Amino acid sequence: MGAGSSRWLTSPWRVQWMNRVLAVLLLLAAWIGFMDSV
C-alpha cells in the first residue's frame, strides 16, 4: 500500500464507474420498491 493505492481509488474512470454502479443500484431499488407497492 502506497501512494499508488490512493491514486487508483481517485482515478476519474473509476469514480465514473462507481457513480454508474451506484445509479444502477438506486434504480433497481426504486423499481423493486415500486413493483412491491403495486
Cα 15 from Cα 11, distance rounded (Å):
6
Number of domains in the chain: 1
For each of the chain's 38 residues, which pLDDT tens digit applies? 556 666 666 678 888 999 999 999 999 999 999 999 88
Q: Which residues of 1-38 are buried (b: 16+ CB within 10 A; e: fewer)?
A: eeeeeeeeeeeeeeeeeeeeeeeeeeeeeeeeeeeeee
Give the residue numbers spanning the domain of 32: 3-37
* pTM of the entire predicted model: 0.59
